[in-house]
Amino acid sequence: MLADLRDTAPLVQCITNVVVSNFTANVLLALGASPAMVDIPGEARQFAPVASGLLVNLGTPTGSQRDAMLEASEAAADAGTPWVLDPVAVGFLSIRTGTAKLLVTRRPTIIRGNASEIIALAGAGEGGRGVDSLDEPAAALEAARLLASLHGSVVAVSGAVDAIVAPGDAVIRVANGTPLLTRVTGGGCALGAVMAAFAALTPDALLAATAATGIYTQAAESAAATAAGPGTFAPLFLDALAAITPDDVVRGLNLSAGA
């Protein structure tokens, strides 16, 4: 799928937060996809049908962006554009939580979040403090299964081990990665954009989310091996995303499947 992505350069529309928009675009470019940060009302609706994939990330949801999210997700659903919902910091914060609960009813292709966010989106918890997760990935599995069966979405729960849950209860776990991804802002958010890029390549959303996670976390491992800290890690990670080969991915993947 990585060769396929580089051949086709899927066009990923990103409606994402201002903190990570630059990093997200650079992650997509490094990997070989094509970012399009089209996030204003009017244009968001117009673009979603021609995009290869769409990311909706709730990190800094201004009124203008919330309008753009609602119209883009609707247009994506109508046009069959796969889309990813990242419910950043939902739970305690009421405005984004309301928006996320509306968006999720539009059956995102993939939902991506940390344990606290997935639990809160499923209505089972208060969420974390800001973007940090206070809940264990294991505790989030039940919430992920609920969301997957209610909305037909694949649900990816990030953590030391990432768990990816499909409707019907298949679970894939990816144990690659590095704690440095949590020391760079956007480490999780940009993965959502990569999932949208892979979802453009296959109708199998479980495969798309797993491929995205495996490639992303292994590039991160490779960068962490030479980084001296979180500052030098970020550019080395982008280099690794550009350099990683399908063979590297197969060789290093630490994956297990279960129920």
Q: Which residues are annotated as a binding site for substrate?
A: 37, 186
Q: How far apart are CA 71 and CA 248, in angstroms?
A: 39
CB-nearer residue toward a copy of itself: 20 or 85: 20
Task: Give the nearest distance from C-beta 209 to a copy of itself in angstroms.
Answer: 23
Paired residues of 110 in beta bridges: 84, 154
DSSP character for 228? S
The yes or no reply on residue 245 touching a copy of itself (CB under 8 A) is: no
Residues 82-107: b if buried by 16+ CB within 10 A, e if exposed = bbbbbbbbbbebeebbebbeebbebe
Structure tokens at 213: 């996670």
Binding characters for a copy of itself, 171-190, by CB under 8 A (x = yes):
-----------xxxxx----
Among 2, 5, 30, 143, binds a copy of itself (CB under 8 A): 30
Task: Give the nearest distance from C-beta 211 to a copy of itself in angstroms.
Answer: 21
Task: Give the nearest distance from C-beta 239 to a copy of itself in angstroms.
Answer: 3
Q: How far apart are CA 172 and CA 110, in angstroms?
A: 14
Among 3, 6, 46, 168, binds a copy of itself (CB under 8 A): 46
Q: How far apart are CA 95 and CA 69, in angstroms?
A: 13
Where do we find the tokens 């982008």? 238
Binding segment toward a copy of itself, per CB under 8 A, in 106-114, 128-136, 159-167, 197-205 = 128-136
What type of residue is 63? G
Among 105, 232, 245, 256, binds a copy of itself (CB under 8 A): 232
The yes or no reply on residue 17 touching a copy of itself (CB under 8 A) is: yes
The yes or no reply on residue 7 touching a copy of itself (CB under 8 A) is: no
Q: How many helices (H) and strands (E) does the chain have?
A: 11, 9
Q: Binding to a copy of itself (CB under 8 A): which residues in 75-94?
A: 89, 92-94
Residues 226-241: b if buried by 16+ CB within 10 A, e if exposed = ebeebeebbebbbebb
DSSP character for 159? S
Among 231, 245, 250, 256, binds a copy of itself (CB under 8 A): 231
Give long-range contacts, CB 8 A cutoff, 24+ apart: 226-234.
227/180, 230/180, 230/183, 230/184, 233/180, 233/183, 233/184, 234/23, 234/184
Binding segment toward a copy of itself, per CB under 8 A, in 21-29, 162-170, 200-208, 250-258 = 21-29
* Binding site members: 37, 112, 158, 186
Helix or strand (DSSP H, E) at 157: strand 154-158
Binding segment toward a copy of itself, per CB under 8 A, in 20-28, 77-85, 101-109, 168-176 = 20-28
Residues that bind a copy of itself (CB under 8 A): 11, 13, 17-23, 25-26, 29-30, 34-40, 42-43, 46-47, 50, 59-64, 89, 92-96, 129-132, 182-186, 228-232, 234-243
